[in-house]
Amino acid sequence: MEFQHLNVKLFVEKEEKVDLEALIPVFHSWIQNQAGGELLLDVADYRHIRSGPGVILIGHEGNYSLDNTGGRLGVRYNRKAELEGTNQDRLVQATHATLAACRRLEIEPRLGGTILFHGREIEVLINDRLLAPNTLETRAAADSEFRTFFSTLFRDIEYAVSYPQDPRSLFSVHVKASQAFDTTALLNNLNSMAPVSHQG
Amino acid sequence: MKASNSLWKESLTGKLPEDLAHEIDIFETDLGLKKQGKLDERLIAETRLRRGVYGQRYDNGQRHDGKRVQEFAYPSGPLTKGPNTLWDAPGMQRIKIPAGGLNAAQLETLAELAEEYSDGIAHITTRQDVQLHYVHIDDTPTLMRRLAAAKITTREACGNSVRNVTACPYAGVCQDEVFDVTPYALALSRFLLGHPDCQSFGRKFKPSFSGCAQHACGLANMHDLGLVGVTHTENGKEVRGFAMYVGGGLGTVPYQAKLFHPFLPPEELLPIAQSIARVFARLGEKKNRNRARIKFLIHDLGIEKFKELVWEERKTLPHDPRWTQYVEMAKESKEEPLRPPGETPSRASEAFERWHKTNVRPQRQEGYSTVTTTLPLGDITASQLRALADIVRRFTRETLRTTVEQNFVVRWVSNRDLVDIYEALNPVGLGDPGAGNIVDIVACPGTDTCKLGISSSRGLAMELRNRLAQKSFEMDAAVQNLHIKISGCFNSCGQHHVADLGFYGVSRKMAGYAVPHFQVVLGGEWESNAGSYGLPVVAVPSKNIPQVVTRLTDRYVAIRKSGESFKDFVKRIGKVEIKSLLEDLTRLSADSADRSFFSDWGDPREYGLGDMGVGECAGEVVSAIEFDLAAAEREVFQAQVDLDKGNFQQAARTAYLAMVHAAKALVKLELQDVPDDPDRIIREFTTRFYDTQKFYDSFAGGKFAQYLFAAHVSSNKPDNPDSARYLIDEAQLFIDASHACYNRLGTVSVA
């Protein structure tokens, strides 16, 4: 089974402190600087929708958003372009893109340290229902890939996984580690894995 | 773009209608041919448009990022999908929903597509369509196949074709309707889809159905073909038919539809529509797309001549059994309730009562109601679409319609289930009150995604919604029921002409900088199928528009007469007083350090028209032209006042002179001593600004200059108030375009 179009979401700590409006000029400045090595195009503002995608930075290879889907705020990277390599490579790419975006927001002076990530919970989705329908078969096929990846990401710390049941939803896995990591630690853990191209 | 694109075709083999499958295969082949350089630029553009595949803002690969214009280096490089439209640039997919009807499985399909190919949002349009944004063209054939498998087509959602056939979302359940127009709308939609007689129009053609004359739901008066259900008695029996209207339309200059026939028998509906299509295809303008809508043909021919031509055409049509078959087939799928009728539970929360007051409407079938789910700015998430699918399955037989106010209407909800359905809708963000009232603001995509956007209509709508939602239930009842509609430019996709408070985006130069503005449009009527159109009163900086709303509504509440509508109030106090009321808001804040005026709502970038073309510096005559253009604005306003007083010939003369003076203002940039002779001014304007294309808008081209030329040639002598009204609209658009031209020539950057 091939993982493509991975989405990775890392949840925000103290959601009530986050002002989505303040994020808009930050995303615009990422476009000005073409931050992160991907082609960044535009900003879409969906703050008016409850439990929606919040504010999205539209890119060519992938979108970044401060996403409130499911009523939980987090940075979500949505890989749109197909990516060569192994499934582990793709997991590393999408997670690295997410963590790097999180880190940039944490240290962004205009946000004044209001956006922090607890690094204990992470959600991985496959945004392609034909490649990965939300079934038990997909879960079985993906399980060993996920175990390999999360063992590295969380440095063999115990973690629990859960899978949403609705067959209409995208196939996804929600992972909760037994201890918190900061984004820098998670990035370091990730860097210990085989390097991959993040451009695709 | 999607890794699975090549697999979907095989996966869906045999699961979609053969004709749709074949069309999509051809479209996919055309995309391949274009990639190989074997298909003409204009041809691929019209090919994709006729399948609903639109361009989006910045698709020329350039975007002003607030500091400079960036050139996007897409992987496909210079490959294009139409003139000046890069292959890899994200685009919009429009999806036709005839009469707005959707079932639960279709909602689920839309949810999947929004997630997998778009940004997770489906957008309901002012013509009951669904749009997905930020879609890659390589994904569109797969997206279309998945839609086709759910019995939805994108065919002719755009382009010079018959667009979505809209219909009142309450048809069949409305207490006031004459009869259910739904089967006729579906039959017409099916009949005209891909019809050979509809393939060579010069412009689009929009049909609409309404079950009554008095409400707004069908908006028959603003459509190319508007059909209103009527009955009369023949030999003691009630007989159904349609009042048929033609040649209505908003666009830059709105036209009220003309009555084609007061009572068209149902069996003549499809053949007459076909005859109209043939006449339009044969005689409609093809070269000048600015005059290619059927409204111009009817205006030029006169309604009587047009009718004569259509009836002649009707006589020549070979009989087609589908004329009646399609209607009969559509009648077979009758809506029925899932659950028994009942009474609304008496014990309920205050929140429920508020929602019930605005969002629930009793059906003519006793014990049942319709429930409106308000969608802010017409947006709904994939998760909400799935939740809505569950809800319509639980409470109804999947009876759902989109509305032109960008909402959903769930039909056939038993009154005994109203509390339960509210409690199901509310947790998923679909239970907000305020359907159809002042909070339920309609806005086109504007500068967010539209190539033509001048100001941020969605940004303004969101700001107004946030402010009004907090106090809407304490507002005077007369204000609660007002309609606000916003377009990002003069093209009227937000239907600003038929709102109580309408706004459309324009730009103005103030203190040396481009400032986003909105024209305030007053006097429109939403009811009576869009009974009358408003006119622009004054342009106000975007950031002052919330104060415009407050002042106008406060004044309305303070001095309205008993039962007086907002439109009548505007007419009574007059535009002179209204303009005076808003005069100070046309200026920038006294605080010179307030730079917020130089950016638009929800967009921190310095505002400018850079994304629509950049020009050279105009030099030192800045203040003179601003003064001259302001004088032209005053003249066009005076023309409105003349028209309101019934002096339409004077109004037309003044509007024409306003255009001449605006043209002169531009000419003076290059020729300071231009004489006051209209012939000379127009000659100089033509040479210096039209022929050189300096006046050209990136997308409208020289359209607005042609208004001036036409008025000059016709000696501006209208023979009726309608013509004077059109001229006033055209004069305002010409002046707006003169401002834009001046902005392009000499906008400076904020340091």
- 3-state SS, chain A, equals CCCCCEEEEEEEECHHHCCHHHHHHHHHHHHHHCHHHCCEEEEEEECCCCCCCEEEEEECCEEEEEECHHHCCEEEEEECCCCCCCHHHHHHHHHHHHHHHHHHHHCCHHHCCCCEEEEEEEEEEECCCCCCCCCHHHHHHHHHHHHHHHHHHCCCCCEEEECCCCCCCCEEEEEEECCCCCHHHHHHHHHCCCCCCCCC
More confident residue, B743 or B151: B151
- Rounded-to-integer distance, Cα B514 and Cα B512, Å: 7
Averaged over A123-133, what is the pLDDT?
97
Tokens of B687: 């040479």
pLDDT, position B613: 31
**How confident is the model at residue B592, as a pLDDT?**
60
Q: Which chain A residues are Cβ-neighbours of B1 within 8 angstroms? A: 80-82
Looking at residue B715, its pLDDT comes to 65
* Inter-chain touch B116–A128, beta carbons under 8 Å: yes
Residue in B closest to A6 by C-alpha: B116
Q: Is the confidence at residue B747, as pLDDT, over 60?
A: no
Do B429 and A129 make contact, defined as CB atoms within 8 angstroms?
no
Measured between alpha carbons, how far is A49 from B503 in angstroms, rounded to an integer? 23
What is the pLDDT confidence band of residue B611, given thresholds at 50, 70 and 90? low
Q: At what angle do helices B104-117 and B140-149 cross, to 10 degrees?
A: 170
- Please give the pLDDT value at position A193: 77
A199 in a structural domain: no
Count chain A–chain B contacts defined by CB atoms under 8 A. 118
pLDDT at residue A5 tops 50:
yes
Going by C-alpha positions, the residue among A45, A50, A36 that lies closest to residue A65 is A45
Torsions phi, psi of B430, nearest 5? -115, 15
CB–CB of B65 and A168 under 8 A?
no
3-class secondary-structure state, position B522: strand
- Whether B285 has its CB under 8 Å from any CB of chain A: the answer is no
- How many Cα atoms within 13 Å fall on the side-chain side of residue B389? 19
pLDDT over 50 at B314, yes or no: yes
pLDDT, residue A198, reads 44
In B6-88, beta strands by DSSP E: 53-54, 62-64, 69-71
The C-alpha atoms of residue B631 and residue B643 are separated, in whole angstroms, by 19
State the nearest Cα–Cα gap between A172 and chain B, in angstroms: 13
State the CB neighbour count (10 A cutoff) for residue A40: 26
Per-residue pLDDT tens for B459-484? 999 999 999 987 877 888 889 999 99
Least confident interval from A153-157, B148-152, B302-306, B526-530: B526-530
* Residue A23 counted as domain residue: yes
* Cross-chain CB nearest to A25 (options B88, B383, B604): B604
Domains and CATH numbers, chain B: 5-149 (no CATH), 174-332 (3.30.413.10), 350-428 (3.90.480.10), 437-613 (3.30.413.10), 615-751 (1.20.120.330)
Q: Does B459 touch chain A (CB under 8 A)?
A: yes
ipTM of the prediction: 0.96
Nearest CB neighbour to A31, from listed B57, B65, B136: B65
The per-residue pLDDT for B716 is 62
| Mean pLDDT confidence for B340-364 | 92
Residues of B in contact with A127 (CB under 8 A): 115-116
Q: Enter the pTM of the model.
A: 0.89
**Above 60 in pLDDT, residue B751?**
no
Q: Looking at chain B from residue 579 to 608, which residues have their Cβ under 8 Å from any Cβ of chain A?
A: 602-605
Whether the CB-CB separation of B170 and B409 falls below 8 Å is answered with yes
B 107-146 residues with CB < 8 A to A: 108, 111-112, 115-116, 119-121, 133-134, 136
DSSP label at B40? -
Q: What whole-number distance in Å separates Cα of residue B117 and Cα of residue A114?
A: 32
Mean pLDDT of chain B, nearest integer: 91
**What are B399's two structure tokens?**
């009876």
Residues 14 to 33 of A: which have CB under 8 A from any B CB?
A: 24-25, 28, 31-32
For A97, the token pair is 């893109």
Contacts of A170 in chain B (CB under 8 A): 115
A31, A32, A53 ranked by CB distance to B381: nearest: A53
Measured CA to CA, the distance from residue A177 to residue B586 in angstroms comes to 57
Q: Say if A68 falls within a structural domain.
A: yes
pLDDT in tens, A174-194: 999 999 999 999 999 998 875
As a whole number of angstroms, the distance between CA B269 and CA B588 comes to 54
A151 lies in some domain = yes
Average pLDDT over residues B654-673: 90
- Using the beta-carbon criterion (under 8 Å), do A28 and B1 form an inter-chain contact? no
What integer pLDDT is reported at residue A200 of this predicted model? 38
Strands B408-414 and B400-402: antiparallel
Q: Nearest Cα to B140, choosing from B26, B14, B15?
A: B26
pLDDT (0 to 100) of residue B615: 26
Is A198 a domain residue? Answer: no
Q: What is the mean pLDDT of residues B256-280?
A: 96
Say how far apart CA B492 and CA B247 lie, in whole Å.
16
Q: How many CB atoms sit inside 10 A of residue B101's CB? A: 22
Q: Which residue of A has its CA nearest to B9?
A: A130
Any domain includes A196: no
- In which band, very low, low, confident or very high, does the pLDDT at B746 lie, cut at 50, 70 and 90? low
Cβ atoms of B117 and B139 closer than 8 Å: yes
Task: Specify the pLDDT at position B616.
Answer: 21
Question: What amino acid is encoded at B379 in this protein?
Answer: D
Chain B residues touching A24 at Cβ < 8 A: 602-604
Q: In what order do the strands lie in the sheet with B442-443?
A: B442-443, B484-487, B501-510, B513-522, B535-541
User: Which of B66, B90, B108 comes nearest A168 by C-beta?
Assistant: B108
Mean pLDDT, chain A, as a whole number? 94
Check whether B372 has a pLDDT greater than 60.
yes
Chain A from 43 to 62: CB within 8 A of any B CB:
43-53, 56, 58, 60
What pLDDT is recorded for position B1?
87
Residues B499-535 have pLDDT tens digits of: 999 999 999 988 778 899 999 999 898 888 777 889 8
What is the residue-wise DSSP string for B447-469?
GGT-TT--S-HHHHHHHHHHHHH
Q: What are phi and psi of B94, to 5 degrees?
A: -95, 140
Q: Say yes or no to pLDDT of B667 above 50.
A: yes
Q: Which domain holds residue A130?
A: 6-191
Name the residue with tokens 């490579």.
Answer: A89
Is the pLDDT confidence value at B380 over 90?
yes
Range name among B236-245, B275-284, B361-370, B582-591 with the lowest pLDDT average? B582-591
* Coil, strand or helix at B416: helix
pLDDT in tens, B547-570: 999 999 999 999 999 999 999 999
Q: How many CA atoms lie within 13 A of A147 on its CB side?
A: 6
User: Mind spelling out the 3-state secondary structure of B101-142?
Assistant: EECHHHHHHHHHHHHHHCCCEEEECCCCCEEEEEECHHHHHH
Chain B, nearest residue to A84 by Cα: B3
CA geometry: angle at B169 spanning B168 and B172, to 5°? 85
Q: What's the total number of domains in chain A?
A: 1
Is B65–A28 a contact, with Cβ atoms under 8 angstroms apart?
yes
* Subunit contact B119:A82, Cβ cutoff 8 A: no
At B395 the pLDDT is: 98
Beta bridge partners of A123: A9, A174
Reported as a pLDDT band with limits 50, 70 and 90, residue B147 is very high
What pLDDT sits at residue B311?
Answer: 97
Q: Does A41 have pLDDT greater than 70?
A: yes
